[in-house]
Structures are given as structure tokens and as C-alpha cells.
Structure 1
């Protein structure tokens, strides 16, 4: 095969990059082999896109690309492990080449959509790794007639909302608030936001998906089978492959939406009494109403220059209807809050989305297309679920903890469940927290000074530990998109068994953890298939094993990787020793074929162990415009 001008130029770039590495032996390093393999097998005819495709530490673009979506400064220090290579694919063949070449040379893959993982798991690893940054795969195709859309994994929530509203202002999608969260991870971890009491999670409204499996093969819902399709909707795309795109079901929103945010600076006991009323009724409200609560510290100085801390309580709401209906409802169900007409704003849905994201009142929907936001703070988050009311005396003590010296900027968020969430089975998708859950509590500390992480994180842990007797038990539930490595990590101290992994696995997935492990077990029954044993940032679901088996004899149960399914096909798999190009990028337009035959079961074969592609993205927005640091201008309410 004769190389094209592009291929020749690409190889020259690779050779220049490789010559700059320090080589201590005559044997090539894995990342060098990876680059040669990748350059040989990509399917790209655009000569001008090379600088956007591959980034090594010696390229001027490397640091800017790496740091462009890092949201937590805890993972932006010089000591944080860095990728050997960053790939920014622009079509499916680039993704396939990355998977196959990583497999061949034993490199982990971290797949990053928006980079919002609380623990930095989409761009950090303790073993040699490659980042697959999906920023160039961000097309969105909206079909108003069928009320569906295809959205590629690199698109952001803001872009998705804008493109839907551009076609029809009375359609939207139930996802999070922060415009820069990537849909690849956000949807795969669950994804909640302003519409979830009305329509459920983002993952509840996914009807098809495209992914590349460990053999470098393109799969859709029909070819991957229902078990795998179930697993990637809330179980984390991280464990099963590289999510390319989602097909989503759009939902109806009214022409006008009403919202309010009122702050209470009352005496502590009076505030807690209002909170107690909230926790007993908010999850029972009709589906059109979402009313959540936040408490945050406001740090300031008095007239004499003395430092002081106060606590601000905010009750915030979004109602899918007109202001008169909301006022009637609040006066009937929650008169203690004292909501008046002057407290309310009435806007279109897309204007509400802009407002929730923290823009000023003069910003337009086009602001949602801005994807450049970055955090300028360090932060730590933990999460709890509440199944019975927390006693008032306990809430007083929890709020008093916000005054502790080491809190920095402290933040508590209480977010009600109920509504549609009560109607969906806990096993419908891997996300299990449905009927019986009243609300969730988020504990957060944010700070600006490097070197103070430990004391601020200890405050979050202290608040979390204090609440142990008053929150969900057996398991103490949490949420995958609020990843918390305190709960457990993969293979940090050697092999780990199913029973050990269940300690954190059931916190995220409850009884669905067993089914997720069974999906893996069907895919690859070989417990020693992981080519890269070692630390994993978790909570990926791990190796193939049968929960019914005695796993004590397993020697390599690093819960950081999964092996994937693929259908039996007569088409040969791409041959890494050949000069054949990989398959071209599939069309992401909605499939005109009838509903897939969901009864078809694909053959299951072993494949590559991927470590945390498509890390689930959180739903919380942090930063000076979003309830973390006080500011002088009026604040929008903190973001759930």
C-alpha cells in the first residue's frame, strides 16, 4: 500500500515526537509502539486535522488540551499523573484504532467527554494511559416529528438544550444544569436535573446507543443486546466500551416556566423548622414542581476588618407552569415559606436553562454554546440518601458544623425525589434509587489555596460520618455521577474479590451490582484476562466472575475493567498487521429501520479490558457564579 501525503506527514510528526523522548534501552516503549500503530490504522483523509488528532507531551497543544476541561484543581497539580498521549478523534475509525492499539500494547484508556468527574477519573490513572478526548465528536441531530435526537458523546448538555430548543421550544430532555458537562459520561451514570421528577433520569430516556467495543467493533442496541444496553444506562459507560452517541427520547416542556429562589437568614431553630416541613412534603409534591434546599457559608469581613462566617439558607424551585398556579400551590402546601409574586420569575424553558446555569439575566440562549468554563477551585464532595426524616436536633448540629474552622466554603444541598422516580422500577436500569427515597444530601467543601486539601476534605468526611445514623443503611446509598473514592477503589492493595467490591458496588447500584457483574461474567469468564493489573480509580465494575462462585482463589480481580460483547459476524476483525483501513464513521442520523429485535442474543466473546472510558459526569456546578464563593452581585441559587 502506498502512503498518502497525509500518512507521510503524519508519520513524520510521529517520528519527530518520538525522537524527543528519552529512550534508555533499544527496545521501543509501549507508547511509541502505540503511536506507530495508531498512525498506521487511522482512517482520516483531512491533511489539516493532524494537530487536532494526536497530542504528545512535546506538542505545544498537549498542556492546553489536557487542562481544557479539568474542573477540580485537586487533579491539576504537577504531581498528577499525565497521559502518554491524548487522542482527539473526529470519526469512529480513530476511536477503533485507539482501542485496538491500546489493547495491543497494554495501555489503559481514559475517555473524556466533559471532564467533570469529581475524582478526575476521566483524565488520571496510576498506570500508563492514553486519554481519548471526545471533543470533536459533538454533532446533534434533532427529529421533531419523532421527538427523538442523536447526540454524540463529546457534545455538552448546553449544546444539546440549545439545538433542541432551536427546533422546537416546547421540547427538551431531562438532564443536568451545567452547560459544560459532557453527555457521554453524564448519561451513562444516570443524569438528573430539573425535569427528573417529571420524566426520570437522562438514562431513563435513552432508546439506543452507538459504542466501540473492546474488539474495535461498532455496536448499536440491536447488535450489543439488551444486557449490555441495560448496563451502559446508569452503570457507567466506563465499564463497557467507548460510547460514541446516544439516541434519546425528547420530552414536552411548557411555553412558560416559573422559578424562585428565596434566602432565609432566620434564627437557626426557625430555619430548621421550615426545613423540617420541606423534608416531609417536597418528595410528595406533584411532578411539575421541584423544590430544593441549600445551606452555604458566606465568608466576609466586618467593618473592623474581622473575619466572619454566616450561613445562608436558600429554598429554590422550578415549576412547569405559570406563576399563578405555583403561588396557589405554595400557599396551600407550604405557606411557611412565604412565597410572593415578587419572588417569582416566569420565563421560557430555554431561558430557564440559561438562568439555572448562572448567567446574568441579559444572556441569551447562545451562551449555552460556550464550552470553555473551568473551575478555579479545589473541592471534595460526598453524597447521602435519606429514607426517613432527619430529626430537627440533628439538622441543627449538622448546620453548626458549617461554622467549624476548617470548612472553608461549606455547602449542603438537599434535593427531593418522588414523582416519576417512584414509578420506575429500581432494576429498570442500573441506577437503583427510586421509591422509598425522600431526598439526597450533598456535602461539599471548596477552597482556593493549594496545600490545604486534607483539612477541607476532612471536614466533608466529618459531616458525612456525623450523618451515618440518619441516612440510608445497608447499603448506605450513593450515586455514580458523584464518584467518591473514599468508599473504595480498585486493586489499590492487590487483588480484590467480588465480596470486597460489593462494599462500594452496592452503595452505587444496590442489588443491580450483581446483575452488572453477571453481564461481565457472560462476556468474559476468564478472571486473569486483565493485562494491566494495578491501581484503578474505581468505581468501575471490574473483572468477569460469577457472584455465586468462591472468589477467594481468584488471583487477579482488579475491579477496574470490563470485557465487552460483540455479535458473531462473518466479517473479519481489523488486522493490526495489515495495511487495511478501519471501517468508516457510521451515520449518526436516526435509524429508519423498525424497532430492533430485542430478543436477539449476540454471541459473547472475550475482548479488551478497558479502564474507565466515558467516566460518568456529575450534575453539580461549582465556581464563583454557582454558589461556591460569595460575590457582591445577586446570586442565582446553587446548582443541584
Structure 2
């Protein structure tokens, strides 16, 4: 099939399935459809993996992150399409829709509930890790980044072009840009510059009819929705165009640890009062975690305080000692370094680690089982509440929390500026995580995580109890993935927590752009006519 004939075939097939109503999956037709879509330059057969391929399992596990969800022998998984060209994405969407097959879109694999690589119905994984092109333009302070590029690759590319530009993305270098940015990913520049979606100015997306859209052709409703409102509910993100922000040549970081015997509870209580009010150039995260006690076999809680300041240590130390003298910060605790080097610090690499480590894309098969949850805090948690939390945490073998401060510019961005709503009024956001290595310990750890979440309930946001989209949590509500027409009342349970007052507009956009609800999974945005 020559190139011209292939393109015509693609267009005709897209049109022919645009109104299709398929209810029964047809696996053989789906695979035949994909295999027929071969062009001389970009054959899809070269990126199509089924259970018959010797590399199928390695392709599956390389980009899964949670062993609790990983299941490479899942008979419902029809194939993996590790797309390398836009036509591969279009073909997968068109063939899946016309044959009643679900797709799960995976850009990085940091998926707390495995929604991007597991399903209860026949499905195909559309793996975007080969979409990793990045172009940075220093003169315009803009960049294009494809969905499968990692934040480590993006940060490195930007730093190669300029030592004083950065992108306000996340902490972990192996995060895929597609899902991370779409969900409203955040990092240590949140108080100065906001979050990822606040700096997206254009996008490329494949819609439910297999068409490639940009901001101009998709319209502002859809462009608004994919910035913090879950791109996977509306299409397949191919790339983002982003604004870059200014950072100084020299930044300062530090890490100071306090245990319960060192009055960690008192220090952390004071942290709640000041962390959101510090200069917006300063991000001071607190991480309560289980640590070894003074006696052998004893456990305690240690709180690690991680900071990043857009400036030199000589300016940082007086700010901390004025606002949080209980921390006891000393000049020798601080390290001055470039923006790129701070990214290795936040990943807990030793100071001085070569930044080439940021280009490592995966760590191979998932090594641990884990469960995470999230909360937003609007009033300081009293010390007695913190002590109840510590008591529950100590029942785990391995658990930690991240308390991430808000304030700064986040208090000045309207909740409906993008689909990401969690803005003004938050002191900090909490991430709870527990991990374990033995599958037999799963039920016990899940039960403990529920207990910890219940203990924290009186001290966090309510009506609704808010949650962060990128910290997916099945416990807060879900819909069966196999149903095209899902229950709106069920969707409102999780939708109100992830999106607050923006959920209605997201459903309206979904109704307009994907009325057949092709792009769906357990916590997707439903069209308004869903039942």
C-alpha cells in the first residue's frame, strides 16, 4: 500500500467509524484492522506487541510502576501499541472504536491505580513512551514536549539551552509529560509559578474520531478541559507547548530532620502556620515518615524538611530562622547549586550526583506494592490530631506522608482558570503512601491505609473531601470500566473531589467532543447523558 493510498484509507476509515455504535468487542477484527494499516515509512506492525511476542512482557512491565496493579499475563490485554508516529495513534483509536475495544493510554507509568495498564474488559495499551521529542526555544522562552518524554529529559533539554530557564513540573525525573501535565502536575516552583497546566499554551491531541487537533482546531472548551481535567477522558495527548519560567543561576536547597524526641510535632505544627506565608521563592516541604527509634527494633516518626530557595544561602538562612527558628537551620545545612542539580537533590540522590541520572527512563519491572491517597488542608492540624496520625502510621512497616505547602501565586489564580481547581484557601496538600514487598501483605496494608485516611478526616477539607487527580485513588469512587453509559451519580462522587465546581463544565465538554464515551475508564469524565 503506497503512502497516498494509505492516507486515503485512513481518512475513509476515520469517517466511517465516527458514528459507530459498537457494543461487542471484536478482537480479531481489531488486530486485523491494525495490521492492515501499514505504510512504507511508518509500519504499525513494528510497534504492535501481542502475547505471542517474546518481548511482550518486558514491554508491559518496563512502564508499570505499581506491582499491586501490574499483570502482564492479563488475558483481557489484547495488545500493546508502542506508537512511534501520529498515524499509529490514529489507527489505534480508529480500530479500537470501530471494534468495541477500550484503550488505556500510558505515557510514563507513574499511575497509582494502574488505570493506564489494567482493565476489567478487553483493552489495548497505547504506550506513548516513544513520543519523546523536545524542542526548546530560549529566545521565546517556549518549548514543545511530546507526551512520552520524561521530566528528566525535559529538564535536561532546557538546561542545555539555558541555565536560567525551567518548567514548573514535578519532582520525579521518570514522570511522563503527557499524563503529568494533563493532571495538573506540580513541583517545587508551585508557590512562585503555579503548576504545569498554568504554563501550557498549545497542545496536540488525537480525538475520538482519530483526528489530530491543536488549540485552534479543538476550541477553548476542550483546551481548558485537558489542562488539569484529565486528558485521557477526551483524547490522546501527543504533545504540549509550554512557557518556560525564569530561575536564577544559583539556587539553595537543604534537608533537616527532626524526630519525635527532637520535638518534630512542635516544629511541624509551627510549619503549618508559616509555610504557606513564606516568600514565594521558597518551597519548604515536610515529610513525616517511619524511622528507626533509639532502641533496636523500635520505630518512631521522623519529619524531614526539604527546602528550595530561588536565591543564595545567605538570603535563605535568615528567612528560615526568622519564621521557623524551631528548625535550627545552619548555614552548613545548605547547598548552593544550579536548577538542574536541584532536581537530583529532590530525588534523594547524594549532592554532586551527575545529572545524567535524570535521563534514566525506567527502573525495570515494578519492585514494590504500594497504595497512596491525598488530602487538602485548610486549617492547621492540632497537635493532638498529629499524634493520632503518628500512632496510626506506626502500625505500618513502611509508610510516609508528604506535606506540600501552597500559598504564593496559587492564592491568586482563579479556581476556574484551568480545569485544575485546588487553588486559594489551601495551606498544604497531603500525600499518604505505604509500600510493601510481599503480596500477602496487601490486604493488611490497604486496611491500614483506610484507617490512616479515616483518622485524618476531621482535620482536612470536607464537603467534598478534596483529592488530587494525579494521585489516583479508587477508594474515593469509581465506575465500571466496561460500561459505555456510566452512572453520573457515581461519577459525581469522585468528580466533585477531583474537580470541585469545574466538574459540570468538564462533563459538558465531554458530551460535545466524545458523546459516545469512547475514552473511558474507572474514573473518567462522563458525558451528561450517561445513565
Q: Contact conserved, 1:31 with 1:85, CA < 8 A, in 2?
A: no
1:266 Cα shift?
Answer: 4.0
Answer yes or no: is 1:158 the counterpart of 2:141: no
1:53-452 matched pairs, under 5 angstroms: 53-77=47-71, 83-267=77-261, 270-298=263-291, 307-374=297-364, 375-404=366-395, 407-452=396-441
1:333 Cα shift?
Answer: 1.3
Q: Give the whole-Å Cα distance in 2 for the aligned partners of 1:278 and 1:300.
A: 23
Choose 355-364 or 54-63, whichever is displaced more.
Answer: 355-364
Q: Contact conserved, 1:210 with 1:244, CA < 8 A, in 2?
A: yes
Q: Contact conserved, 2:405 with 2:429, CA < 8 A, in 1?
A: yes
The alignment partner of 1:428 has SS state of: coil
Cα distance change on mapping 1:390 and 1:107 into 2, 3 Å: same
1:520 Cα shift?
Answer: 1.9
1:389 Cα shift?
Answer: 1.1
The higher radius of gyration belongs to 1
Q: Give the whole-Å Cα distance in 2 for the aligned partners of 1:496 and 1:86.
A: 26
Gaps of 5+ in 1: 7-27, 546-555, 558-640
1:46 Cα shift?
Answer: 5.4
Q: Contact conserved, 1:379 with 1:446, CA < 8 A, in 2?
A: yes
Cα distance change on mapping 1:420 and 1:80 into 2, 3 Å: farther
Question: What TM-score results when the alignment is normalised by the length of structure 1?
Answer: 0.76
1:29 Cα shift?
Answer: 7.8
Cα distance change on mapping 1:82 and 1:288 into 2, 3 Å: farther
Q: Give the whole-Å Cα distance in 2 for the aligned partners of 1:470 and 1:226.
A: 37
1:175 Cα shift?
Answer: 0.4
Answer yes or no: is 1:31 the counterpart of 2:27: yes
Q: Contact conserved, 2:70 with 2:117, CA < 8 A, in 1?
A: no
1:300 Cα shift?
Answer: 8.2
Q: Contact conserved, 1:253 with 1:320, CA < 8 A, in 2?
A: yes
The match for 1:473 is 462
1:449-464 matched pairs, under 5 angstroms: 449-464=438-453
Cα distance change on mapping 1:78 and 1:520 into 2, 3 Å: closer
Q: Contact conserved, 1:490 with 1:539, CA < 8 A, in 2?
A: yes
The alignment partner of 1:325 has SS state of: helix
Q: Give the whole-Å Cα distance in 1 for the aligned partners of 2:386 and 2:481.
A: 36
Answer yes or no: is 1:539 the counterpart of 2:530: no
1:164 Cα shift?
Answer: 0.4
Cα distance change on mapping 1:66 and 1:77 into 2, 3 Å: closer
Q: Contact conserved, 1:81 with 1:126, CA < 8 A, in 2?
A: no
Aligned residues: 511
Q: Give the whole-Å Cα distance in 2 for the aligned partners of 1:302 and 1:214.
A: 59
Q: Contact conserved, 1:381 with 1:445, CA < 8 A, in 2?
A: yes
1:50 Cα shift?
Answer: 4.8
1:473-512 matched pairs, under 5 angstroms: 473-491=462-480, 496-512=486-502
Cα distance change on mapping 1:453 and 1:132 into 2, 3 Å: same
C-alpha distance after superposition, 1:27-84 (max 9, x if no partner)? x98222112211222445257x854x11010101100000001111101246756521
Q: Contact conserved, 2:321 with 2:329, CA < 8 A, in 1?
A: yes
The alignment partner of 2:434 has SS state of: strand
Cα distance change on mapping 1:134 and 1:78 into 2, 3 Å: closer
Q: Give the whole-Å Cα distance in 2 for the aligned partners of 1:481 and 1:460.
A: 18
1:530 Cα shift?
Answer: 4.9
The match for 2:19 is none
Q: Give the whole-Å Cα distance in 2 for the aligned partners of 1:359 and 1:56.
A: 37
Q: Give the whole-Å Cα distance in 2 for the aligned partners of 1:46 and 1:520.
A: 31
1:573-584 matched pairs, under 5 angstroms: none
Q: Give the whole-Å Cα distance in 2 for the aligned partners of 1:3 and 1:281.
A: 62
Q: Give the whole-Å Cα distance in 1 for the aligned partners of 2:148 and 2:486.
A: 33
1:492 Cα shift?
Answer: 6.9
Q: Give the whole-Å Cα distance in 1 for the aligned partners of 2:274 and 2:259.
A: 22
C-alpha distance after superposition, 1:286-320 (max 9, x if no partner)? 110001111111258966xxx33222211111111
Cα distance change on mapping 1:138 and 1:323 into 2, 3 Å: same
C-alpha distance after superposition, 1:379-403 (max 9, x if no partner)? 1011111111111111111112122
Question: What TM-score results when the alignment is normalised by the length of structure 2?
Answer: 0.92
Q: Contact conserved, 1:208 with 1:247, CA < 8 A, in 2?
A: yes
The alignment partner of 2:131 has SS state of: coil
The match for 1:623 is none
Q: Contact conserved, 2:191 with 2:406, CA < 8 A, in 1?
A: yes
Q: Contact conserved, 2:369 with 2:437, CA < 8 A, in 1?
A: yes
Cα distance change on mapping 1:46 and 1:491 into 2, 3 Å: closer
The match for 1:631 is none
Q: Give the whole-Å Cα distance in 2 for the aligned partners of 1:81 and 1:72.
A: 19
C-alpha distance after superposition, 1:130-177 (max 9, x if no partner)? 111111111001111100000010100000000000000111100001
Q: Contact conserved, 2:370 with 2:436, CA < 8 A, in 1?
A: yes
Q: Contact conserved, 2:164 with 2:246, CA < 8 A, in 1?
A: yes
C-alpha distance after superposition, 1:596-620 (max 9, x if no partner)? xxxxxxxxxxxxxxxxxxxxxxxxx
Q: Contact conserved, 2:410 with 2:424, CA < 8 A, in 1?
A: yes
Q: Give the whole-Å Cα distance in 2 for the aligned partners of 1:531 and 1:254.
A: 45
The alignment partner of 1:413 has SS state of: strand
The alignment partner of 1:509 has SS state of: helix
Q: Contact conserved, 1:42 with 1:94, CA < 8 A, in 2?
A: no
Q: What is the Cα-based RMSD across aligned positions, in Å?
A: 2.3
Q: Contact conserved, 1:256 with 1:349, CA < 8 A, in 2?
A: yes
The match for 2:18 is none
The alignment partner of 2:335 has SS state of: strand
Cα distance change on mapping 1:324 and 1:44 into 2, 3 Å: farther
